[in-house]
Structure 1
Amino acid sequence: MTHPEIMRALSGLMLGMFTAILSSTIVTNALPRIVSDLGGGQSAYTWVVAATLLAMTASMPIWGKLADLFSKKLLIQISLVVYVAGSVVAGLSQSPAMLIAVRVVQGLGVGGLVGLSQIILAAMIPPRERGRYSGYLGATFAVATVSGPLIGGVLTDTPGLGWRWCFYIGVPFAIASLFVLHHTLRLPTVRREVRIDWAGAFLVSAAVSLLLIWVTLAGDSFAWASGETALMVGGSLALAALFLLVESRASDPIIPLRLFRVRTIALTSVASLFVGVAMFAGTVYFGQFFQLARDRSATMSGVMTIPMIAGLFVSSTVSGQVITRTGRWKYWLVTGGVLVTAGLGLLGTIRYDTPYWRVAVFMALMGLGIGMMMQNLVLATQNQVEPKDLGAASSVVAFFRSFGGAIGVSALGALLANRVTTYTADGLADAGIDPATAGGTGGGIPDMDALPLPLRSVLESAYGHGVGDVFLYAAPAALAALVLTVFVKEVALRSHH
């Protein structure tokens, strides 16, 4: 394909990527209002995000394997249709349970959009040139990430619209992407007569789902050290072991285990898991920090996250251009790991009254690091596989990143709920307020404007300190990703497929 042909097809992919990321981030600043209106608590807040990540994570290997067997163009169009259907119904939700269920459908579509975009890009472009175009996808990711919270905040704060439009707004972009891809994407379809490994797909989905459900409920519905924990964790491990057994015997497995014999793929996959923890911790919990700890509107909450997204935008674009010119990529991965670790560690020190300029600097460091790591981990993996395994290998890295994000959101959400409860109780005791007479301190998301000043100050401090703890606990994950990238052996990017 010539450069103009690639750019025309890439415009459809970027629209699809924009749609996928928009659906993940647009609810960030609207979530406090959504959960409050639907009568949910911190658990519902966590699951509205985690449900999409869970479905996206579990479906990625399936989309990737299907891409190795059938038309990639048809598959990405199907994923767009699934996304549109889920979005329309999500906007009609009447309860937290209904919204969470429909977000699962959205996640299935998003899993296809995110995974297939990388696979189609790799099918069109040789590795050496891919860094340049991957940078465009990274920039699209950054634009969607920053515009999502802003658009969500504006829609939530605008009379006559409201948070339900956060789900409707992505539908026109998805339809536009559908038509653009139909007219511009030209890829040969290599059909192979094989059976899809449905047993493997079911087992990996079940193992991941059970583990995420345990992480979300432990410490709230039951104790961490309890019979329920032993049953759910044991069940997840048993399903994972059975999955490995099935995959080792399958003629065409959903995740080819032989890929992990390649050192680069094994290391980048696990590193992507830890990057997912760091990335989603930053994008999900800033909304609660700015709205509940600093009393900002949903719109301003989006504006105040711009430093992080600006860093991500710059680093993903610049690193892609430089990698295309030089063919070298490891430096960017290691530097990105250092910046993410430093940014999260510094964000762990923030409180409700920390000067904004300091928070902005810390966010920018984190964004720079994520931009250097996210796309380039996929690029390093794609450079190591044969064309027949391109879909599976790309999806494996995306799977681990989404799995890390889902685990991170669930575990850190449970941590935040616990820390806020503890800090609130300590603050009430220090202020001499009887918890039995204090309204707004239950399990729901509080309406700060309706609370008396002494109680409001206690809760703002509790949320500020609690979100700081979330970042502090996420920092070791970034450090683990850094250590893993150090041991990745750099192989110069190929100039041919």
Structure 2
Amino acid sequence: MTANTTHSAPQRRGGAHVAPPAEVATPSKGRMYVILTGVMLAMLLALLDNMIVNTALPRIVGDLGGLSHLSWVVTAYVLASTVATPIWGKLGDLYSRKAMFIASIVLFLAGSVLSGAAQSMTELIAFRAFQGLGGGGLMVGAMSIMGAMVSPRERGKYQGLMAAVMPLAMIGGPLLGGFITDNLDWRWVFYVNIPVGIVALIVVVLTLKLPKSTIKASIDYLGVAVLSVGITALVLLTTWGGTEYAWDSWQIVGLGILAVVSLVGFVFVERRAVEPIMPMSLFRNRNFAVASVLGFLVGFAMFGATTFLPQYQQLVQGDSATASGLALIPLMLSSVVVGLIVGQITTRTGRYRAFPIIGGALMTLGMIALAQLTVSTTHTVSSLLMIPLGLGMGFLMQTTMLITQNSVSVRDMGVASSAATFFRQIGGSIGVSLFGAIFSSRLTASLTSSLGSAAAEKMTSGGARMSPSVVSHLPVAVHTAYSSAVVDALQTVFWWAVPITAVAFAVAWFVKEIPLRGGDTPPATPNASPAKVEIVKQRQPVEALVSE
């Protein structure tokens, strides 16, 4: 099938030969649903992984030991996926979004097999990092593929449809993770990815059709290396500071200097790179810059704080892994429902500025509410306390991506989508590591105060195996002290999250309401007035979407 398309002369961009990019062209409704099926299955992999693993963490620690390293099971994955995200996005823009999408699924599945076979906490952390390298391409691939096919004005409707995957992952994930942990083995929380991934691969290979890229350019390997060093140093600093090493130790000070030098160097390298993985020019666009900051803050607070809720439910409230998954339903369901509603409203009205503002306020209220959890809090009350946070997540998650994609051309859709995902993930990575350090430090301090340093060391050291079943059989006095220490540590984490979400609320006010473009409208130039946006009457035929 060929497309009758008029081609203009190739352009030259930063030393790379670039063919004129195809404008957004939405396929027929039936074909779009088929394409979305393949894309959503791959998204399901990434979403399920985080939800399932969090529920199984208490049992994993009980089997492999290392309560003090619990956060690294999450951090290793998020850190690796964060570093990989902009690379996947740029590779998709330069070569083939479809090929990169398939490659990321394959890497993710390989990491899942290795993680399920881990025999120690060290192995599991290493394999989770490998899994994260593939995971970095799943969400950004799905978002950039949809961005290349659907106009921003129509995208709210399809993002709402894609958000329908979230109930299966965000609600079904914890339930599935709990059921697997209780009735099979925690290793199956990784192995369950295999059948889903195989189906996703088959559907994506057979149904996804995109225009072939005609861009020839080199990869910014120096930028990748400098960014990786900077992010790793920053995460290690927030993980080890105040726990493994004193904040004024040479190790922490050295990591801080390395992080600053590397990240400043990354900006310097990107400004001079022929084909940067994260073009600095994008940040001249006000909405893009604001959405990036919002994504970082939301990821920091959301991933950092909610990772520890299953610890409370299983170690303090005495829930099974399955019941722990059920207890998270209010948080996840409220997020999903609001996300669907926001998507529909955005599509019908073209307006979105109010949503991140409302979301920032609700997330702040949610963190304050969760900081009220105590040893005696009932299941009903704890469930109600989760709802404000879930509502805030629903207002923010999809909106920040929509703002980002509406700020750039189709040519940069992949790198923009990866930037939005990158900032959310780096926020999550730093949040999980910092809050993990706070949780561990506060837990140790509370146990030392109530039981003495020897008992505290035994319960929190690298070899500690404090699974829910072990905790439930502790002597009454010790069990009470341990539960109180967990609650104290959890409250501290949520109180630390409050100023982060408050800053997100303040930043959201800087979003500028720029009309969402349709398939015939290019993005507004940085800081341009909506009235000056030109309407382009040329449009790439739908048939061009089946040229690959």
TM superposition score category, shorter chain reference: over 0.9
CA distance 1:436–1:181, change in 2 (3 Å): closer
Within 2, Cα distance between the matches of 1:227 and 1:450? 42
Q: Deviations over 1:320-342 (max 9, x none)?
A: 11111111111111111111111
Please say if residues 25 and 283 of structure 1, whose CA atoms lie closer than 8 Å, have aligned partners that are also in contact. no
1:416 counterpart (436, 439, 456): 439
**Which residue of the partner structure matches residue 538 of structure 2?**
none
Among 405, 408, 412, the residue aligned to 1:385: 408
Counterpart of 2:494, as a letter, is: F
Equivalent residue for 2:59, pick from 29, 33, 37 = 33
Following TM superposition, by how much is the alpha carbon of 1:435 offset from its aligned partner in structure 2, in angstroms?
5.3
Name the residue aligned to 2:3: none
Q: Return the TM-score normalized by structure 1.
A: 0.96
CA contact (8 A) 1:281 1:471 kept: no
Instruction: Identify the match of residue 83 of structure 2 among 42, 58, 65.
Output: 58
Match of 1:96 in 2: 121
Q: Check if 1:21 corresponds to 2:47.
A: yes
In structure 2, give the amino acid aligned to 1:426: S
Instruction: State the alpha-carbon separation in 2 of the partners of residues 255 and 7 from structure 1.
Output: 31
Please tell me the residue identity of whatever aligns with 2:31.
Answer: E
SS in 2 for 1:222: coil
Contact kept? 1:143, 1:309, Cα under 8 Å: no
Match of 2:208 among 179, 185, 190: 185
Cα pair distance change 1:252/1:113, threshold 3 Å: same
Aligned-residue Cα RMSD (Å) equals 1.4
Q: Deviations over 1:31-76 (max 9, x none)?
A: 1111221122222x11000000001100011011111111111111
Query: Which amino acid counterpart does residue 79 of structure 1 have in structure 2?
Result: S
SS of 2:516 mapped into structure 1? coil
Is the 1:142–1:312 contact (alpha carbons within 8 Å) kept by the matching residues of 2?
no
Offset at 1:164? 0.6
Could you tell me whether the CA contact under 8 Å between 1:149 and 1:299 is conserved in 2?
yes
Map of 2:149 onto structure 1:
124
SS at match of 1:408: helix
Q: Which amino acid aligns with 1:111?
A: G
Q: CA deviation at 1:427?
A: 3.1
Confirm or deny: 8 A CA contact 2:80 2:130 kept in the other structure.
yes
- CA shift digits 1:61-102 (9 cap, x unpaired): 101111111111111111111011111111110111111111
Tell me which amino acid in the other structure corresponds to 2:444: T
Alignment match, 2:170: 145
Q: Is residue 247 from structure 1 mapped to residue 270 from structure 2 by the alignment?
A: yes
After TM superposition, give the deviation of residue 481 of structure 1 in Å: 1.2
2:450 counterpart (408, 414, 427): 427
What is aligned with 1:364? 387
Aligned to 2:108: 83
Query: TM-score with structure 2 length normalisation?
Result: 0.87
What is residue 108 of structure 1 aligned with on the other side?
Answer: 133
In structure 2, the partner of 1:349 is: 372
**How far has the Cα of 1:439 moved from its partner?**
9.0
Equivalent residue, structure 2, for 1:431: none
2-structure distance, mates of 1:344, 1:308: 12
User: Of 230, 246, 260, which aligns to 2:283?
Assistant: 260
SS of 1:182's partner is: helix
Among residues 432, 441, 459, which one is paired with 2:459 in the alignment? 441
Q: Shift in Å at residue 242 of structure 1?
A: 1.4
Question: Which amino acid in the other structure matches residue 441 of structure 1?
Answer: M
- Describe the SS at the equivalent of 1:343: helix
Q: CA deviation at 1:440?
A: 5.3
Alignment of 1:271-282 (within 5 A): 271-282=294-305
Once residues 437 and 259 of structure 1 are traced to their aligned partners in structure 2, the CA distance between those partners, rounded to angstroms, is 53
> Per-residue deviation at 1:282?
4.3
- Tell me what 2:22 maps to: none
- Alpha-carbon deviations, 1:265-307, whole Å to 9, x = none? 1111011000001221343111101011211111111110100
Measured after TM superposition, the shift of residue 419 of structure 1 is 1.0
Once the two structures are TM-superposed, the CA of residue 451 in structure 1 deviates from its matched residue by: 1.1
> Quick one: distance in 1 between partners of 2:204 and 2:371?
43
Aligned partners of 1:31, 1:468: CA distance in 2, in Å?
A: 19
8 Å CA contact 2:304–2:429 kept in 1: the answer is no
**CA shift at 1:425, angstroms?**
2.6
Residue 390 of structure 1: how far off its partner (Å): 1.1
Q: Which deviates further from its counterpart, 229-238 or 438-447?
A: 438-447
* Structure 2: distance between partners of 1:438 and 1:108: 35
What whole-Å deviation, never above 9, does each CA across 1:321-376 have from its counterpart, x for those lacking one?
A: 11111111111111111111111111112112123333212211111110110111
Gaps in structure 2 of 5+ consecutive residues: 1-26, 521-548
Q: What is aligned with 1:206?
A: 229
8 Å contact kept, 1:143–1:313: no
Distance 1:137 1:437, change over 3 A: closer
Contact 1:32 1:445 in 2 (8 A): no
Matched position secondary structure for 2:348: helix
The code of the aligned residue for 1:103 comes to R
- The residue aligned with 2:544 is none
Structure 2 counterpart SS, 1:94: coil
Distance in 1 separating the partners of 2:323 and 2:378: 16
Partner of 1:2: 28
Matched position secondary structure for 1:421:
helix
TM-aligned CA distance change 1:435 to 1:222, over 3 Å: closer
Distance 2:456 2:325 in 1: 30
2:531 corresponding residue in structure 1: none
**SS of structure 2 residue aligned to 1:194:** coil
State the distance in 2 between where 1:356 and 1:477 align: 27
Q: In the alignment, is the contact (CA less than 8 A) between 2:305 and 2:497 conserved in 1?
A: no
User: Distance between the aligned counterparts of 2:35 and 2:443, measured in 1?
Assistant: 47
Determine helix, strand or coil for the equivalent of 2:391. Answer: helix
SS of residue in 2 equivalent to 1:28: helix
On the 8 A contact 1:277/1:406 being kept in 2, the answer is yes
| Alpha-carbon contact 1:423-1:462 (below 8 Å) kept | yes
Aligned to 1:69: 94
Q: Distance in 2 between matches of 1:115 and 1:439?
A: 41
Within 2, Cα distance between the matches of 1:52 and 1:378?
21
Please show how residues 256-405 of structure 1 align to structure 2 within 5 Å.
Answer: 256-405=279-428
CA distance, structure 2, for counterparts of residue 312 and residue 14 of structure 1: 18
Structure 1 residue 246: Cα displacement:
0.9
Cα distance 1:450–1:58, how it changes in 2: closer, same or farther (>3 A)? same
